[in-house]
């Protein structure tokens, strides 16, 4: 089943259960899917699995950024809503790598590329971003690459 079909099914269930957090999140996902499908150059067809993952990651990133801002401003009511939405959206993403798994994967990439100093970060990030897409967010990949190359 495609992401869109899954979201529609879950949306109906959330409506029946009167789950406000799930409704907000699922409606946001559905809107993002519709925007992506109707965007210029999208062809109007179904989204690929990679495109769906990128779309969901973008939604999670937006909410994490908002969450950070709300926490800085001591707006716990709004922060709670963002956390609820993040939890719902992350259900549709593949399982994220743990820090140990990420460290092992990045170490292997560094070895295969032959990087040895922080100046090689661009080479490593290019490969790492492609290989680890959907399994880890770019911020954690970047931080791990920086940490391993600075040793």
Rounded to whole angstroms, how far apart are CA atoms 75 and 115?
43
Q: In this predicted model, what pLDDT tens digit does every residue of 81-134 receive, in sequence order?
A: 999 999 999 888 888 888 888 888 888 888 888 877 778 788 888 888 888 877
Residue 36: CATH number of its domain: 1.10.1510.10
Assess contact for 23 and 11: CB atoms under 8 A.
yes
Q: Please tell me whether residues 10 and 56 are part of one structural domain.
A: yes
The predicted structure's pLDDT at residue 42? 62
Q: In whole angstroms, what is the distance from residue 53 CA to residue 89 CA?
A: 11
Residues 7 and 52 placed together within one structural domain of the fold: yes
Domain count across the chain: 2
* pLDDT grade for 80, boundaries at 50, 70 and 90: very high
The mean pLDDT value for 63-74 works out to 95
**pLDDT for 77:** 94
pTM over 0.95: no
Query: What tokens does 124 get?
Result: 């490593």
Range of the structural domain that residue 21 is part of: 3-90
């Amino acid at each position: 089943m495609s992401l869109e079909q899954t979201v529609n099914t879950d949306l109906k269930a959330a409506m029946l259960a009167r789950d406000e957090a799930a409704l907000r999140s699922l409606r946001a996902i559905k809107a993002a899917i519709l925007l992506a499908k109707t965007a210029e150059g999208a062809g109007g067809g179904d989204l690929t699995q990679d495109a769906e993952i990128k779309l969901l990651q973008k939604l999670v990133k937006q909410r994490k950024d908002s969450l950070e801002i709300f926490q800085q401003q001591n707006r716990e009511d709004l922060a709670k809503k963002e956390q609820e939405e993040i939890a719902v959206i992350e259900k549709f993403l593949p399982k994220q790598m743990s820090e140990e798994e990420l460290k092992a994967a990045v170490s292997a990439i560094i070895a295969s590329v032959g990087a040895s100093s922080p100046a090689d970060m661009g080479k490593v990030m290019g490969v790492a971003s492609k290989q680890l897409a959907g399994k880890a967010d770019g911020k954690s990949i970047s931080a791990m690459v920086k940490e391993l190359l600075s040793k």
